[in-house]
Structure 1
Amino acid sequence: MNPFSMLTSEVLGYLSSLFVFVVGLFALLIVVLFLRDITQTKDAIRRNYPVIGRFRYLFTTLGEFFRQYFFAQDREELPFNRAERDWVNLSASGGDNTVAFGSTRSLTPVGTVIFINCPFPTLDEDAVETPSILVGPATRHPYEFNSIINVSAMSFGALSKPAVRALSFGAKSAGCWLNTGEGGLAPYHLEGGADIVFQIGTAKYGVRTSDGMLDDAKLAEVAGLAQVRMFELKLSQGAKPGKGGILPAVKVTPEIAKIRGIAAYRDSISPNRHPEIGNVTELLDRIGYIRAIAQKPVGFKSVIGAYGWLETMFEEIHRRGIESAPDFITIDSGDGGTGAAPMPLMDNVGLTIRESLPMVVDLLCAYGLRDRIKVFCSGKLITPAEVGWAYCAGADSVNSARGFMFALGCIQSLKCNKNTCPTGITTHDLRLQRGLNPMDKAVRVKNFVDKMTKDLNTIAHSCGVGHPRALKRFHCRIVQSNGRSVPLDELYPPIRSTRSIRPAI
């Protein structure tokens, strides 16, 4: 007999036996799953449809990925659609983000922003550098900056070490500042040399005593760092207005726990407000107290819902004197953020930035405080059009969190709170972090800022002004329910104050 034929017969026999074994093993698995499903009592679907019912959960899990890549149109995804993500990705990678054959965006939905182009736009050679903003001129160490997009609050803990390092180096290279978020100051925030805004959350992470109150010595130590330029007292944030920060236990590593001053591998749940701040009087007292220790600008961050308290605060500032005012207010949008949050708060609590930003600017103008208190804003502003609208509405500067996450390579897998982020941005799994090279991503961060600045200038020049901070409300129109657009300055008419400002005695 031919040896080759004998060898072939043996191989076929082996493969046949292996096939029978695999089939038998698969059948045994089906039987085991069938028995487990039909005898358990916690899941009605699996009990009534053993084995087959399990596919429901598989398809549910995979559904969001199939929708994103195969079924969703460029402009219909939430929270950010493919067109928006592609703009950021192409900008961050230094690619060509021009488009052809007309816009894929419908310009008729209610709320659409349309900028009013000038018949005689500003020539490139006549454009001027965006003027700087001076914050806290009465403090010993005021802060002056001219960046028009900055890194919004994202803590070390919510973000991974390589992500924070990339943002630090990228922000320094781009000339913008970096907000620490409420998780305290990590060495990785400082590593790149960027200007830092230190956020003090309700748990006082990084500057807290053992019982969770403000530690003056730790605050003074942080304030002594030259890179730390401002302090932001967080009252609330977009993802969870009325509830403190949430960092799941799996993400509270020993290093993060040490920086925050808490126990490792336990849920990091911040109080839903500062225990010592229960009214506007106590808020102004606390701002003044922190400013006296830090000798640097101090402001607060809040999602706007009720707004009567702002009027009460502005009245109190007039009573005390102009020096008592916060140096800035950061307004966050009520439609979500980057970390873990209860869905009812993320979906239905707090005004969006489209309504709250012009409202706060108008209140400041009405009370004669607009020049004294700077206005920053954040909340889903990741494209030039959205940022341009914010400048038209009256913002002094714009912060972005998710825009910079996309610049780092975020693919919107919606796993920020699971420690399983596939891009290494919001996970502390070292295997997943390995894919994020901080130095490479720092370049993408700079590219994103540069492209945002360039395109914002393009919008400004088209409207006939020399720089984005010169944009006014009459430079844009908002589409209404009847399909027609209305100038923003008609929706929110300019307000001039008749109030006189007196200094504190």
Structure 2
Amino acid sequence: MGWAYYALQVLAGLFALFLGSLVLLVGVLFVIDRSQTGDAIRRNYPVIGRFRGLFTELGEFFRQYFFAMDREEMPFNRAQRDWVDRASAGKGNTVAFGSTRNLNIPGTPIFMNAVFPPLDDQYASTEPLLIGPHCRVPYAAPSIFNISGMSYGAISKPAVRALSRGAKRAGIWLNTGEGGLSPYHLEGGCDIVFQIGTAKFGVRDADGNLSDDKLRELASHPQVKMFEIKLSQGAKPGKGGILPAAKIDEEVAQIRGVPMGRDAISPNRHREVNDFDDLLDLIAHIREVTGKPVGIKSCIGSAEPWFDLFRAIRARGVQSAPDFITVDGGEGGTGAAPMPLIDLVGLPLRDALIRMVDLRDLAGLHDRIRIIASGKLVAPGDVAWAICLGADIVTSARGFMFSLGCIQALKCNRNTCPTGITTHDPRLQQGLVVETKEMRVAAYARSVIGEVETIAHSVGVAEPRQMRRRHVRIVQDDGTSIQMNELHPSVHLGLEGLAKARGHKRFEEALKRLGET
């Protein structure tokens, strides 16, 4: 009994101490809240008013787990994230009891299944696509689906390592993003697309100008297959890349060639490029120095300015054209960008892709310029839709982040990512085990490619790049659907296609502006 009584006395003392501390804390917070002048709620409702800020901060997480329906969340809903998770784990992606997708929403694509699709022995794998036929070292791109630009610095060392290894396993390429080439990009042995941003990270001299010596050094890596000149990206068109100072350590600073202690903010455009003639000059210069394909990446605000690009190409000759154009939708993601640009600027990929594909084809450059689609394309239906519209290749960043374990915590810009993907905090990075995540990256890529091939077979063609706009219907405002080629007639290859275009009012005017006779 003596020990029990003593234990109860100790517990009672501890409880009294806790209660006294709690009362003291509440009293201190009361005085602080009542005396501060910045927050009216806390001033009028001391202590209790603090819960409003806490609940506001936690609201997005409670909605994610408890309140939002599978198809409601933004920017990616639970159904999309769950599909990527199952695909990355190599699990079956069959579901029961029918689709949860609302097929009556205007703009929804519906693929048109064939009455007599190809038999099992009539399927074909996607053939490699030649990019840069006029280069000394052209590239035969093996995959329709690849990893979009994510810079080392914006994402962590283990994330880059896992992406590199997974890309090699799946036979796809990895875009470096504008942050330069790190040893971790090369680690897995995958194909690399080096992105040249407006700040020239990784290929800049001491004054921040493009360095031919560094270009040659990069091109000497057999893994570096192509160079992509980033004009703008969908999440922040008109503004350069933003890497917060908290995410710049010594290694990131050395690779990028920037000082530590302050944000690394890229110019909003390449200073030496004032028009499309300057752009074609820059493309030609990089292609000559490296010997490898060179393309551009841009978010599109309107088709109007791009007529000048294709007119300039026609005047100079097809060899002057960019080897590829990456069209980034205005809905694209990023780790850090001003909300007005994320929400309000740039055409969505749905509009931008059609315009760029049609312009390229009207200019007779279908086989010369490859179109790459980028912008929240994470599931097989997204990829198949883009190919139907005319994209040759699709790239994704967010999809591969989900395969790494991203939970959409929306902390990419704060160096506090709980999954270790976008943080340089070693404690948080330890949660991302490269050997496990590389397998998920590869499994996700294979699943997307395999299911896009399944869609292609369902609509009656042997492989994805044979899909056309006529194979997909688009839901209209009244709930009915119409074939994509009726909404947006496509220009086919060769003289026959141009002849058809001349009979179409919309294309007639475009051909005149391009100088076509």
TM-score band by shorter chain is: over 0.9
- Give the counterpart of 1:122 among 110, 118, 126: 118
Name the structure 1 match of 2:409.
Answer: 413
Give the secondary-structure state (helix, strand or coil) at the position aligned to 2:6: helix
Alignment partner, residue 346 of structure 1: 342
- 2:503 counterpart residue number: none
Corresponding residue number in structure 1 for 2:448: 452
Q: Deviations over 1:462-501 (max 9, x none)?
A: 100001111100000010111111111111102233689x
State the distance in 1 between where 2:312 and 2:13 align.
86
Q: Does 1:35 align with 2:45?
A: no
Report what 1:388 is aligned to. 384
Contact 1:179–1:199 under 8 Å retained in 2:
yes
Partner of residue 504, structure 2:
none
Deviation at 1:238, TM superposition (A): 1.2
1:233 is displaced (CA, Å) by: 0.1
What TM-score do the two structures reach when normalised by structure 1?
0.97
The letter for the 1-side match of 2:146 is N
Greater shift after overlay, 119-128 or 23-32? 119-128
Match of 1:177 among 173, 176, 180: 173
Q: Describe the SS at the equivalent of 1:329.
A: strand
User: Secondary structure of 1:199's match?
Assistant: strand
Q: 4+ residue runs of structure 1 moved beyond 4 angstroms? A: none
- Cα deviation 1:177-204 (Å, max 9, x = unaligned): 0000000000000000000000000000
Please state how far the C-alpha of 1:453 moved relative to its aligned partner. 1.4
Q: Note the 1:276-355 alignment, pairs <5 A.
A: 276-355=272-351
Which residue of 2 is the match for residue 503 of structure 1?
none
Q: What do residues 83-112 of structure 1 show as CA deviations (whole Å, max 9, x unaligned)?
A: 110000000001122100010111000110
1:190 and 2:186 matched: yes
The answer to whether 1:247 aligns with 2:206 is: no
1:336 shift after superposition? 3.0
Tell me, in whole angstroms, the C-alpha distance in 2 between the residues paired with 1:102 and 1:25: 56
Is residue 62 of structure 2 the alignment partner of residue 61 of structure 1? no
> 1:7 and 1:445 mapped to 2: Cα distance?
59
In structure 2, what residue type is equivalent to 1:75? R
The alpha carbon displacement at 1:265 in A equals: 2.7
**1:199 matched residue in structure 2:** 195
Q: Using the TM superposition, give the Cα deviation of residue 26 of structure 1 relative to its aligned residue in structure 2, in angstroms.
A: 0.2
Equivalent of 1:150 in 146, 154, 161: 146
List gaps (5 residues or longer) in structure 1. Answer: 501-505
Is 1:423 aligned to residue 424 of structure 2? no
**Residue identity opposite 2:153 in structure 1:** G
1:497 aligns with 2:498: yes
CA contact (8 A) 1:147 1:176 kept: yes
How far did residue 18 of structure 1 move? 1.1
Matches of 1:419 and 1:269 in 2, distance apart?
Answer: 17
CA-CA distance at 1:210 after TM superposition = 2.0
Matched to 1:251, the amino acid is K
Q: Hey, what's the Cα distance between the residues in 1 that align with 2:162 and 2:115?
A: 42
Shift of 1:9: 1.3
The unaligned stretches of length 5 or more in structure 2 are 492-496, 500-510, 513-517
Structure 2: how far apart are the matches of 1:7 and 1:146?
76
Deviation at 1:211, TM superposition (A): 2.1
- After superposition, the C-alpha distances for 1:376-400 in whole angstroms (9 at most, x for unaligned) are 0110101111100001000000000
How far is 1:448 from its partner?
0.5
Distance 2:44 2:209 in 1: 54
Q: Take 1:399 and 1:133, find their aligned partners in 2: how far apart are those partners?
A: 15
1:38-63 CA distance string (max 9 Å, x none): 11112222111111111011101111
Per-residue CA shift, 1:237-281, capped at 9, x if unaligned? 111011000010000111000000010131010000101111111
User: What does residue range 74-223 of structure 1 map to in structure 2 within 5 Å?
Assistant: 74-223=70-219
**1:231 aligns to what SS in structure 2?**
strand
| Structure 1 residue 71 displacement after superposition | 0.4
Query: What whole-Å deviation, never above 9, does each CA across 1:440-460 have from its counterpart, x for those lacking one?
Result: 111001101111111111111
Aligned mates of 2:498, 2:262 — CA distance in 1: 50
Q: Residues 336 and 347 of structure 1 are in contact (CA less than 8 Å); yes or no, is this contact kept in structure 2?
A: no
Residues 125-165 of structure 1, C-alpha deviation per residue, up to 9 Å, x if partnerless?
A: 11012121100011000000221110000000111000000
Partner of 2:506: none
Does residue 52 of structure 1 match 2:53? Answer: no
Partner of 2:508: none
Q: Name the TM-score, length of structure 2 as normaliser.
A: 0.95
1:439 corresponds to: 435
- Is the contact between residue 296 and residue 324 of structure 2 (CA under 8 Å) also seen in structure 1? yes
Q: In structure 2, how many angstroms separate the alpha carbons of the residues matched to 1:242 and 1:437? A: 36
Residues 347-366 of structure 1: CA distance to partner in whole angstroms, max 9, x if unpaired? 11000111111111001111
SS class of match (2:418): coil
C-alpha separation in 2, matches of 1:472 and 1:144: 22
The alignment partner of 1:150 has SS state of strand
Equivalent residues of 1:304, 1:356 under 8 A apart: yes
